[in-house]
Amino acid sequence: MKQKQRKNLETFAFYFGNALIALIFVSPLIWMISSSLKPESEIFKGLNSLSTFIPKQASLGNYREVFERINMWKFIGNSLFYVLIIIGLDLFANSICGYALAKFEFKGKNALLTLVISLMVFPAEAIMLPMYREMADLGWINTWAALVVPFVAKCFSIYMFRQFFMDIPNDLLEAAKIDGCGPIKTFFHVVFPVSGTVYATIFILDFVAHWNDFMWPLLVVTGEEKRTIQLAIQTFFGSKPINYGPIMASLTISAIPMLIMFIFLQKYYVEGIASTGIKG
């Protein structure tokens, strides 16, 4: 009986601890949403108590101000447009590269894989200036090409795909070859249908990274026509006095697509991370 009680206590402590940690991590998001519903005078009141998470006079005034001051729908559309193009090209091109590194033997394969892994350690900031200079030389500043092309090939995506494809049985590919499938047909008819988890993982990582990207669009977008949502939010900091209600509302709006995406794809994200991290 004591052993059962101890086990129940350990289970309770485990779930309570996880719930507490999750609440700590999600509390800034809850505060942001709550603040977006408050009048300006209420946002920073009671920060040392739980009452700060509960708006006393909730209203949608801040959201109305956001849509009155800027063309938010256009900026959301701009971000969705270029982010989805990057993701589509990333999933297509890098999955094929990862498949080749996982299932084909060719001269220089190991050297190429080493190069891919080595390039993963370089932060984007280290190559941002050369990329900008290249975009300027090509005359691509303030074009969709400048936002998309530099981020199509990703070493991390290639590595993730390669790790996942390594676990696909060679017998399955041999059976497809016997049935008359060439490499391309095998990839699209055999490999692709069983690789949903890694595609979902790359989709989520790409979406979050580029949806939240501020620095690169700031460098290459010079007009309002192609302005992204993160650049649009920055305009609320450019006029005095700074009102944090509209800022919180615009940040909440920008977070909604990511929350929706993660809710529907979290299962595949967890499975993809687990499956690509097992085999070396």
Same domain, 48 and 183: no
Same domain, 215 and 100: yes
Look at residue 22 in the predicted model and tell me its pLDDT: 86
Look at residue 269 in the predicted model and tell me its pLDDT: 66
**How far, in Å, CA of 112 to CA of 123, rounded?**
19
Look at residue 83 in the predicted model and tell me its pLDDT: 95
Torsion of CA 231, 240, 29, 268, to 10 degrees: 0
Best CA proximity match to 27, nearest among 45, 59, 50, 7: 50
Same domain, 31 and 82: no
DSSP state, 242?
A: P
Mean pLDDT by 10 residues, the chain (280 residues): 75 88 88 90 82 84 91 93 95 94 89 90 85 93 93 92 90 86 88 89 91 92 90 83 88 90 75 54
**Angle between helices 109-119 and 72-103 in degrees, nearest 10:** 150
Same domain, 8 and 143: no
DSSP state, 198?
A: H
Question: What is the model's pTM?
Answer: 0.85
**How far, in Å, CA of 50 to CA of 62, rounded?**
22
For the chain, the 3-state helix, strand and coil shares in percent, each to the nearest 5, are 75, 0, 25
Q: What is the CATH number of the domain that holds 176?
A: 1.10.3720.10
Same domain, 144 and 24: no
Look at residue 144 in the predicted model and tell me its pLDDT: 94
| N-terminal to C-terminal alpha carbon distance within the chain | 45
Q: Return the H-helix or E-strand segment holding 257.
A: helix 244-276
- Asked if residue 265 lies in contact with residue 198, where contact means CB atoms within 8 angstroms, the answer is no
User: Of 16, 34, 59, which residue constitutes the final position of a domain?
Assistant: 59
User: Of 59, 78, 106, which residue constitutes the final position of a domain?
Assistant: 59
**How far, in Å, CA of 163 to CA of 226, rounded?**
36
Look at residue 223 in the predicted model and tell me its pLDDT: 83
Mapped onto helix, strand or coil, the DSSP state of residue 47 is coil
- Asked if residue 37 lies in contact with residue 55, where contact means CB atoms within 8 angstroms, the answer is yes
- Asked if residue 114 lies in contact with residue 125, where contact means CB atoms within 8 angstroms, the answer is no
**Domain ranges, residue 13:** 2-59
Look at residue 148 in the predicted model and tell me its pLDDT: 94
Same domain, 34 and 122: no
